[in-house]
């Protein structure tokens, strides 16, 4: 049994088919990386795994820890152990960051202590995401995940909009979320991460990388090698290869 | 006095500028005649429960003063602490020869047929006065109660906060559990003298066929503060009101906050106007309205007449039903240079994206909606009676259910 298994997944957004037969398997303790151009369907895959209504599963199945969650409500997926850090989370006026962190933490941890550990205390009384900078949004998202402590950590471009000073903090939180300091089999957490820059590879033990193109996973391999290839040649060869 | 009477007579049939027009003859003027009730013995448990939901605790303890009017009759009225006077307006007018001059000085008697009616057929009302320098830690509790179905209640209230005094008034307006229809006309004139502070919290918890026409004028003198909280969580037929606050002295401050839920069948037209007449005055009008099927108009009007004033208006509406309608009408009017006025108005539904964001954190859909509604309504109101906090939470839970 693996942490996540996606079988022949086809997904529509409104009338457009965005994912076209995705097959993906993430074993326990492994972190997989998604590369690909904007609009290739990477975020759609994460959003579909999290169960958002806009993403309609036309065909295929999603298994989480052996359980079919294809049609489970988002909240149930979250409670089962799926966690997603949004790339652009919504602002909710009047709802304080502390309210959400409290909900994420439940009785597991003290959200105040978590916030204090990452210099986030001043943000607790602020409305969630309202007037936050790019880096603040990422820190807020990752702290929510730390409080939630999911078994499968999904990150949508965790480095985007983060300045150099904050990159390291962001990287360290992600390392902690994915138990970077543990060796398998003691490492239990799995990850699925979208990245353009590959910065994240310094902070996690990434096992497999994929290139996504036009709603399909084209190839898989060592994430660093894939990144080097993209850096050298862009996605031109992938386009050729995908035809 | 005669002149006031004449003006009222002339306006006897004058429709109000806003809100649905009512036929005053459709209501009864024959109300109940309860006796004076010094220890609130005449209230049934059902009535007590109903009153509590309007924030009325029916106790002289922990209240600086208490006032209770049922239909036309005042059944309880007393100041419980030094520094405050609580009387019926009828008594106060007899006792203080300066009071008639204040009456109708902030609200025009000929504004419409409702003000005219309050003059021509007055039942009673409260007179509350905080003496100079008196800082009253506990609130004065007042209640205007419709005890008879179809009764038309006419009250005229005066609150005076003398220089340096600090007064908190909680007014609960509600109906007997068996009453569903009626009319309440309430004229209120509040005077906040130099350096005084008045916090006025009004809770409306009427019956579903009750019409309500408050007419309120407030004068705030130099360095005075007026804080108004208005809460309407329950069904009512129509409410139309547009209280006007005049900041007449330098450094005066007004803050008007309202939390409004428009239920199916409710027609609400509720606003707040502040005239910033003196330099260095400040005002904030914050309205949060939700519709679960009713019509809600939220108005706000800031008028800047002096330099170095600062004012902000915020009308936000949330539509939680297919049927409800919501209008936000913010107006800013500056007549001199050096005014700083702004507004923010937004009307909309809860975005699916916001609900799903919270669901991704483990909240189920109902909890997510409640969290968003609670956030939307999170206007800080200090000193709210605990029973009312519970009512607010219940209303939040309830209003999300139609989603």
CATH number at residue A106: 3.40.50.300
Domain boundary among B128, B143, B176: B176
Instruction: Name the band, by pLDDT with cuts 50, 70 and 90, for residue A148.
Output: very high
- Contact list in B for residue A95 (CB cut-off 8 A) is 371-372, 374-375, 378
Domain boundary among B133, B157, B176: B176
Residue B92 pLDDT exceeds 80: yes
Which of B353, B359, B362, B379 to substitute to test the interface with A, most A CBs within 10 Å? B362
Number of domains observed in the structure of chain A: 1
Structure tokens at B133: 């320098």
**Looking at residue B383, what is its pLDDT?**
67
Residue B74 pLDDT exceeds 90: yes
How large is the C-alpha radius of gyration of chain A? 17
B71 in any annotated domain:
yes
Flag if A78 and B374 touch (Cβ within 8 Å): no
Q: Say whether residue A235 is in contact with chain B using an 8 A CB cutoff.
A: no
Q: Are strands B140-146 and B309-319 parallel, antiparallel or unpaired?
A: unpaired
Flag if A94 and B359 touch (Cβ within 8 Å): no
Whole-number Å distance between alpha carbons of A18 and A15: 9
Question: pLDDT digits over B176-198, tens only?
Answer: 999 999 999 999 999 999 999 99
Q: Say whether residue B364 is in contact with chain A using an 8 A CB cutoff.
A: yes
Cβ–Cβ under 8 Å, residues B155 and B144? yes
- Contact list in B for residue A94 (CB cut-off 8 A) is 374-378
Q: Say whether residue A102 is in contact with chain B using an 8 A CB cutoff.
A: no
Instruction: Name the band, by pLDDT with cuts 50, 70 and 90, for residue B402.
Output: low
Residue B151 pLDDT exceeds 60: yes
Cβ–Cβ under 8 Å, residues A3 and A152? yes
Domain boundary among B149, B176, B203: B176
Q: Are strands B209-220 and B238-241 parallel, antiparallel or unpaired?
A: parallel
CA distance A91 to chain B (A): 8
**Looking at residue A186, what is its pLDDT?**
86
- Its domain, for residue B70, covers 1-176
Q: Say whether residue B61 is in contact with chain A using an 8 A CB cutoff.
A: no
Q: Which residue do the tokens 């004139």 mark?
A: B189
Mean pLDDT score, A223-240: 86
Indicate the burial class of B122 (C-beta count within 10 angstroms; 0-12, 13-18, 19 or more): middle
B314 in any annotated domain:
no
B391 in any annotated domain:
yes
- Determine phi and psi for B346, rounding to 5 degrees: -150, 135
- Contact list in A for residue B344 (CB cut-off 8 A) is none
B267 in any annotated domain:
no
Write out the E strands in B249-392.
Answer: 253-262, 267-276, 282-291, 295-304, 309-319, 325-334, 339-348
B293 in any annotated domain:
no
Residue with the larger pLDDT of the pair A133 and B386: A133
Number of domains observed in the structure of chain B: 2
Flag if A100 and B358 touch (Cβ within 8 Å): yes
- Cα A34 to Cα A42, A145, A222, B295: the distances in Å are 7, 19, 11, 49
B217 in any annotated domain:
no
Indicate the burial class of B17 (C-beta count within 10 angstroms; 0-12, 13-18, 19 or more): exposed
- Its domain, for residue A236, covers 4-242
Cβ–Cβ under 8 Å, residues B243 and B270? no
Question: pLDDT digits over A26-78, tens only?
Answer: 999 999 999 999 999 999 999 999 999 999 999 999 999 999 999 999 999 99
Flag if B361 and A100 touch (Cβ within 8 Å): yes
Q: Say whether residue B353 is in contact with chain A using an 8 A CB cutoff.
A: yes
**Looking at residue B403, what is its pLDDT?**
56
**Looking at residue A25, what is its pLDDT?**
97
B257 in any annotated domain:
no
Write out the E strands in B206-304.
Answer: 209-220, 225-232, 238-241, 244-247, 253-262, 267-276, 282-291, 295-304
Residue A202 pLDDT exceeds 60: yes
Of A54, A104, A127, the CB nearest to B361: A104
Residue A197 pLDDT exceeds 90: no
Cβ–Cβ under 8 Å, residues B15 and B113? yes
The ipTM, to two decimals, is 0.95
The pLDDT mean for chain B works out to: 94
Question: pLDDT digits over A5-23, tens only?
Answer: 999 999 999 999 999 999 9
């Amino acid at each position: 049994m693996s942490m996540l298994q996606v079988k022949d997944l086809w997904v529509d957004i409104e009338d457009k088919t965005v994912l076209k037969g995705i097959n993906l398997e993430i074993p326990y303790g492994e972190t997989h990386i998604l590369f690909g151009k904007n609009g290739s369907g990477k975020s759609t895959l994460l959003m579909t795994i999290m169960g958002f209504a806009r993403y309609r599963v036309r065909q295929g199945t999603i298994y989480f820890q052996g359980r079919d969650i294809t049609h489970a409500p988002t909240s149930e997926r979250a409670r089962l152990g799926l966690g997603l850090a949004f790339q652009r989370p919504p602002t909710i006026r009047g709802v304080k960051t502390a309210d959400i962190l409290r909900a994420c933490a439940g009785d597991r941890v003290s959200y105040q202590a978590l916030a204090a550990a990452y210099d986030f205390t001043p943000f607790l009384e602020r409305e969630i995401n309202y007037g936050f900078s790019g880096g603040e949004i990422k820190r807020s998202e990752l702290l929510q995940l730390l409080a939630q402590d999911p078994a499968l950590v999904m990150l949508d471009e965790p480095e985007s909009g983060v300045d150099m000073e904050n990159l390291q903090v962001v990287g360290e939180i992600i390392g902690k979320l994915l138990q970077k300091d543990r060796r398998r089999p003691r490492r239990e957490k799995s990850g699925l991460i979208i990245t353009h820059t590959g910065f994240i590879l310094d902070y996690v033990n990434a096992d497999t990388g994929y290139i996504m193109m036009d709603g399909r996973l084209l190839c898989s391999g060592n994430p660093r090698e894939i990144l080097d290839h993209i850096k050298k040649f862009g996605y031109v060869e992938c386009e050729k290869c995908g035809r | 006095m005669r002149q006031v009477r004449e003006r009222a007579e002339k306006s006897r049939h004058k429709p109000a500028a806003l809100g649905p027009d009512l036929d005053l003859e459709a209501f009864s003027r024959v109300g109940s005649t309860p006796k004076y009730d010094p220890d609130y013995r005449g209230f049934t448990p059902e009535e007590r429960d109903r009153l509590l939901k309007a924030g009325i605790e029916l106790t002289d303890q922990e209240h600086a003063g208490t006032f209770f009017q049922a239909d036309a009759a005042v059944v309880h009225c007393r100041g419980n602490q030094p520094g405050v006077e609580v009387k019926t307006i009828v008594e106060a007018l007899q006792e203080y020869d300066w009071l008639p001059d204040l009456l109708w000085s902030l609200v025009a008697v000929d504004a419409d047929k409702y003000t005219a009616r309050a003059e021509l057929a007055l039942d009673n009302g409260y007179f509350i006065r905080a003496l100079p320098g008196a800082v009253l830690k506990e609130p004065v509790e007042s209640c205007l109660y419709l005890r008879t179905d179809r009764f038309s209640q006419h009250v005229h209230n005066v609150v005076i906060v003398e220089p340096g005094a600090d007064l908190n008034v909680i007014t609960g307006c509600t109906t007997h559990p068996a009453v569903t229809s009626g009319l309440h006309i309430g004229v209120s004139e509040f005077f906040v003298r130099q350096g005084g502070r008045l916090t006025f919290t009004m809770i409306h918890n009427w019956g579903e066929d009750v019409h309500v026409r408050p007419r309120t004028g407030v004068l705030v003198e130099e360095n005075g503060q007026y804080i108004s909280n208005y809460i309407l969580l329950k069904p009512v037929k129509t409410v139309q009101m547009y209280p006007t606050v005049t900041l007449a002295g330098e450094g005066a401050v007004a803050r008007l906050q309202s939390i409004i839920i428009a239920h199916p069948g409710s027609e609400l037209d509720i606003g707040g106007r502040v005239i910033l007449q003196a330099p260095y005055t400040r005002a904030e009008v914050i309205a949060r309205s939700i519709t679960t099927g009713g019509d809600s108009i939220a108005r706000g009007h800031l008028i800047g007449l002096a330099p170095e004033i600062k004012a902000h208006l915020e009308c936000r509406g949330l539509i939680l039903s297919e049927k409800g309608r919501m209008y936000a009408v913010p107006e800013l009017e500056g007549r001199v240079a050096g005014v700083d006025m702004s507004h923010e108005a937004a009307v909309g539904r809860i975005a699916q994206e916001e609900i799903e964001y919270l669901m991704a954190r483990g909240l189920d859909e109902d909890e997510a909606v409640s969290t968003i509604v609670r956030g939307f309504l999170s206007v800080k109101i200090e000193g709210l009676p605990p029973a009312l906090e519970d009512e607010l939470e219940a209303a939040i839970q309830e209003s999300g259910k139609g989603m």
